[in-house]
Amino acid sequence: MIMKRVLFDLVLLATLFYLPWWCLFTFVAIGVYLFPFYGEAIVFGFLLDLLYGTNILYGFGIIGLVSSLGIFLIVLRIKKAIRN
């Protein structure tokens, strides 16, 4: 399981650099659904902001962080509802 998780993290890291932002959020949602307590989601949101944003922009440059937290919480809730 840990190996799979590390591999998925590497895929997400590649997505961050090679694919459009919405692909990253899609993969983050998949990760939160597949793995238990996928906290890496927040780290990737943070990296997205560092890489592409500035804090003199709209959303104070934390759109990635806030969105990944939102996805994390929503998918976690959905997961809980499905599995109960």
Partner 1 sequence: MRLRDNSLLRGKNLALIIFLAISIFALSYNPVRTALSQVLYIVAPSIWKTRAVALESRDTFLTNFKIKRSLVYENTILREEVARMQVQVLDRNLLSEKVLKLEDALGRAGSDNRVSAEVLSSPRWSPYDILEIDAGTDHGIALGDLVVYANAGVIGAIAEVYPSSAKVKLYSSPGEESIVFIGTKSIPASAHGRGMGNFEAKLPKGSPVEKGDTVIFPKGNLILGVVGLIEEEPALPFVNVFFRTPFNIADIHEVEVIIKK
Q: Minimum distance from CB of 58 to partner 1 (Å)?
A: 4
Q: Helix, strand, coil: what percent of the chain each, to 5? A: 80, 0, 20
**Site mask for partner 1 (CB under 8 A), range 42-81, x = bound:** xx--xxxxxxxxxxxxx-xxxxxx-x-x------------
Footprint on residues 7-46 left by partner 1 (CB under 8 A): 17-21, 37, 39, 42-43, 46
Residue number, 33 or 60, with CB nearest to partner 1: 60
Amino acid at residue number 68: S
Q: Which residues contact 41 (CB under 8 A, 6 or more apart)?
A: 28, 31, 32, 68, 69, 71, 72
Site residues (CB under 8 A) for partner 1?
17-21, 37, 39, 42-43, 46-58, 60-65, 67, 69
